[in-house]
Amino acid sequence: MVVASPIAVGERLVIVGESGKGLVLAAKPSFEIVGGGELDDVFWSTPTVAGEALLLRGVEHLYCLRSAPDGG
């Protein structure tokens, strides 16, 4: 179940489910899954962006996700 609002980041849409599963979609006329992952926490808050980082507030922790310095 998704409780938090999705967030647009450039041409991507980030959706995080209550169970910690996340999807990154290309925002095109027909959505395309371009990434995703899972964190072991419960998420009710809408993600936010700070500079190059995506911040996620779980019930237990605050997560900061960003690309590796080499872009990987």
Cα 17–chain centre separation: 9
Rounded (5°) CA angle 31-54-63 = 120
- The pLDDT value recorded for residue 71 is 60
Task: Give the pLDDT confidence of 17-57 residue by residue, as tens digits.
Answer: 999 999 999 988 888 999 999 999 999 999 999 998 999 99
In a domain, 46, yes or no: yes
**Domain with 48 in it:** 7-65
pLDDT tens across 56-66, in order? 999 999 999 98
CATH code for the domain of 43? 2.40.10
Global pTM? Answer: 0.83
As for how many domains the chain has, the answer is 1
- CA–CA separation, 31 and 72 (whole Å): 23
